[in-house]
Amino acid sequence: MKPASGPRIGEADSRRFLHFAWSLADLARRLLAETPITETDIAVKADGSYVSTADQRIEAAWREAITARFGDHDLLGEEYPPQARGSAWEWVLDPIDGTDNFVHGLATFGTLVALRHEGLPVLGVIDHPRLDLRVSAAEGLGAQCNGRDVRIADRDEPGTPMVLITAPENFAKGGRGELFGRLAAAYPNLRVYRDCYAHSIVLQGQGAVAVDWHAHIWDVCAAWAIAREAGAAFVRLAGPQARYQVVFGRPRVVAMATALLGVAQEEGV
């Protein structure tokens, strides 16, 4: 996605929304600390993915907090139906990204908060409560990791993980199973980190590029906003309707990986 030709919202609004989004991430951390998870708190959805009482409790609390503060804003989340109120503003929520990791005690799951204005991502927070790691950005304010400014360098360093795949099986689910093999053959130092942890690695500059295939908007919207502010390239590729195939990270490497995949770019959000 190419950045717009100028800011869409003012600095004051960006700061106000970002501090509020941080408060939502803090709320999720508190709820996770006080929500025990047993086998009875875990279910499997029709698509085979996990959902827990913690997912539902966090998203419900987020929706309540957003409605109390911004009652006219639209809401779109993974666990509950969308609430369309005719607003130019839409909060995009994933209370636990990587619930399979969460329920098995792995620390790399995250909570995702994003805000779109007129359909375009302008704010994103990726928070990893168990790792005490938070990557975030809002339009015009740059990107930060735990309070440290982040800027993605446009370089191709030998030894840097070239491609981080968040879920290799999703290529097959999206009808393009051969693409994972193509990436693995081209990049022998390919690494696999699942879900938004792959996003955080790339958006901190520790990895060159991330590829996320057959994802939902709530899986990638926060990374989209952060990448834009961090100076990363972010490309959406064509695929099944209502799914997202995205490549983002160091601009030079994104161009190389996108060319290798050989899939047309998708216009718009």
Domain 164-261 has CATH 3.40.50.2000: no
CA dist., res. 181 & res. 200, Å (int): 24
Q: What is the pLDDT of residue 53?
A: 87
Domain ranges of the chain: 11-150, 164-261
247-257: average pLDDT: 94
pLDDT 10s digits, 200-215: 999 998 899 999 999 9
158 or 194, greater pLDDT: 194
Q: Contact 229/143 with Cβ under 8 angstroms? A: yes
* Pure H helices in the chain: 11-33, 53-69, 99-103, 169-173, 178-186, 196-203, 217-230, 251-261
pLDDT higher than threshold 60 for residue 228: yes
Q: What superfamily does domain 11-150 belong to in CATH? A: Fructose-1,6-Bisphosphatase, subunit A, domain 1 (3.30.540.10)
pLDDT 10s digits, 106-141: 999 999 999 999 999 999 999 999 999 999 999 999
